[in-house]
Structure 1
Amino acid sequence: MRKKARLFLAFGLFFSIFVLGESCRHAMVRYPQAPPEACRIYPSSKECKKALELRAAHQEQGGEVYKVHQTYYFFGLYPGNLVLDTATYCPEGPKSVHQYTSFWNAFWEQLTLSIYSPQTVEIECYR
């Protein structure tokens, strides 16, 4: 009976570590889109209104989403800063950047006792 209780306790502790570790780190940044070229000089012109309508129609379709995997070590302390150039992924600029810990990131982090701490970054682009 004691072996079953210990096994159940170990499984519960193991499961709770995964559940708590997976939902921790999230960071999201949303970027406003730059105004169209026609709106920079004369914001109330007909060309500006047409450019804004065209852009609104394209935004409904949504932009491309890229997933980038980043590697951190020692509880995420090394390297201190990883610079991600979003211009290489989004020539029109990023719509949002979301950094988070996925299930598998948390799995590897827990398995290595936080020596290896991967993160996933999703970059959504403007069309």
Structure 2
Amino acid sequence: MRADKILPILSIILLSFGFGESCRHAMVRYPQSLPEACRIYPTSRECKRALDIRSAQAEQGGEIHKVQHTYYLFGLYPGNLVLDTSKYCAEGPRSVHQYTSFWNGLWEQLTLAIYSPQTVEIECYK
């Protein structure tokens, strides 16, 4: 085959791998801990008031932090990365979402999966 025919076929194959890579997602949602007023007397007025305030704040959503994780050799090294969410969220995390963005997938394809970055989004409670 000639080079002018191989190049378009090769670019289509690489693009299809690149678009297929951005499908990796993992998401965890965490329940919010009880307010201090509800721990001792769960049926008190203070507990009801604290739960009402918390439900009003929950609709607004919290701050979102993006963290880059770096993996190597098809994501095999390092095996487990521990993320301390208390550094980002004082009230605890609402959700943690790890995914491969378009740029992460592009870098992974360009390095033939030797370098495999992942993006982690941490949403906090207010």
Aligned identity (percent) is 66
> Matched residues in 2 for 1:22 and 1:49: separation?
43
* 2:9 is equivalent to residue 9 of structure 1: yes
- Deviation string 1:14-65 (CA, Å, 9 cap, x unpaired) is 2111111111x21100000001001111111111110000011111111000
TM-score by length of 2: 0.94
- Deviation string 1:91-112 (CA, Å, 9 cap, x unpaired) is 1000000001011100101000
Partner residue of 1:72? 71
TM-score by length of 1: 0.93
Partner residue of 1:103? 102
Partner residue of 2:87? 88
Question: Secondary structure at the residue paired with 1:57?
Answer: helix
CA shift at 1:113, angstroms?
0.5
> Matched residues in 2 for 1:115 and 1:51: separation?
50
Q: Which runs of 5+ in 1 are unaligned?
A: none
Q: Cα RMSD between the aligned structures?
A: 1.5
